Structure 1
Amino acid sequence: MNKEAVIDTAAAARHARFGKLPERIRLEDTTQGVDTGLEAKVGSRYNPEGQWQYYSCLALDLGL
């Protein structure tokens, strides 16, 4: 009988702590808009001729 009281106390403690869901967060509160300058737009353009500079291959790094 004492074991049931312990289980009920533990269940009551869990329900008190986790018994309800947290409040909803609006999408507007989770996103942030940042204006970028012209310099950032120019530097982040795709350059197919310069992509070889960023290519990484383990076989090439090892000289195989």
Structure 2
Amino acid sequence: MTHRTHTQDTPRDAADAADAADAAVVRRQRFGRLPERIRPEDTVETKPATRPDPARDTYHADEWLIRYCG
């Protein structure tokens, strides 16, 4: 002899059935469609890690003299 239990609430009378139908309508209105699609280009943001420093990025021919002989 097996004992079965119901895991879902089943409406027992007309009022419960109407409440369940209303809840289903509300649920369908809220979750009935997928959200708008997001393009992959809109999910990535690119920007430089640091601001460019013109004084640092200029070439200095005698830099080795400043670093090693100074």
Shorter-chain TM-score category?
A: 0.5 to 0.7
1:27 corresponding residue in structure 2: 40
Structure 1 position 34, deviation (Å): 1.1
Q: Are positions 1:10 and 2:23 aligned together? A: yes
Give the RMSD, CA atoms, in angstroms.
Answer: 1.7
Shift of 1:2: 1.2
When Rg is computed on C-alpha atoms for both structures, the one with the higher figure is 2
5+ unaligned residues in a row in structure 1: which ranges? 40-64
Asked if residue 36 in structure 1 is aligned to residue 49 in structure 2, the reply is yes
Say which structure is richer in helix: 1
Unaligned runs of 5+ in 2: 1-13, 54-70
Bigger relative CO (Cα 8 Å, ≥ 6 apart)? 2
Q: When the two structures are aligned, how many residues end up with a matched partner?
A: 39
Runs in 1 of length 4+ with deviation above 3 angstroms?
A: 36-39
CA distance in 1, matches of 2:40, 2:49: 22
